[in-house]
Amino acid sequence: MTHFAGVGTQVEKLGKATLVLMSLTLSPEKRMAGAMMELEAAFLENPPYGDESAAHLGRLRSLFDGEDSWQERAERLSPSAREQASEAFWRLHQSVMHAFYKEMVK
């Protein structure tokens, strides 16, 4: 898979994560858990493109640290940590989209 295709997959999965985060029918914990599942799928085969994306991904992974299910980890997040995670998702999405468009114009 080319790097461009990898960034395209990341954009697709981050888009799905964003939709899950915006769902009004799920609890905040389920939204966070679903978004993290999409996030892990986004970066399964290719690391994030650039230092900024890697930093945001690292921040999310540190907030969701643990070995148990995403749901259980999300339930442990304080409201403040959920807010930090939401912002990190948004910033990660933004930096990956920037990398995607940068690759498209090459």
- Report mean pLDDT in 10-residue bins for the chain, 106 residues: 65 89 93 92 82 89 92 93 92 86 77
Sign of the Cα torsion 94, 97, 103, 104 reads: negative
pLDDT of residue 3: 54
pLDDT of residue 43: 87
Give the pTM: 0.82
Give which of 13, 75, 72 is closest to 40, Cα–Cα: 13
Q: Would you say 89 and 17 are in contact if contact means Cβ atoms under 8 Å apart? A: yes
pLDDT of residue 1: 45
Neighbours of 21 (CB within 10 A): 19
Number of domains observed in the structure of the chain: 1
Neighbours of 11 (CB within 10 A): 16
CA dist., res. 56 & res. 5, Å (int): 21
CA dist., res. 47 & res. 26, Å (int): 29
Domain of 81 in residue numbering reads as 3-104
Neighbours of 18 (CB within 10 A): 14
